[in-house]
Amino acid sequence: MVPSPRTSVHDDPVALAEIELCGELMIAASTADEDRLSFARIDEVLEVARVVAPTAN
Question: What pLDDT, on a 0 to 100 scale, did the predictor assign at position 11?
Answer: 79
Determine the average pLDDT of the residues in 28-52: 90
Question: What pLDDT, on a 0 to 100 scale, did the predictor assign at position 50?
Answer: 76
Percent helix / strand / coil, the chain, rounded to 5: 55, 0, 45
In degrees rounded to 5, what are phi and psi of residue 22? -60, -40
Question: What pLDDT, on a 0 to 100 scale, did the predictor assign at position 30?
Answer: 95
Instruction: Record the pTM.
Output: 0.65
Question: What pLDDT, on a 0 to 100 scale, did the predictor assign at position 55?
Answer: 81
Mean pLDDT of the chain: 86
Q: Closest Cα to residue 48, out of 31, 27, 24, 32?
A: 24
- Residue 23: pLDDT over 80: yes
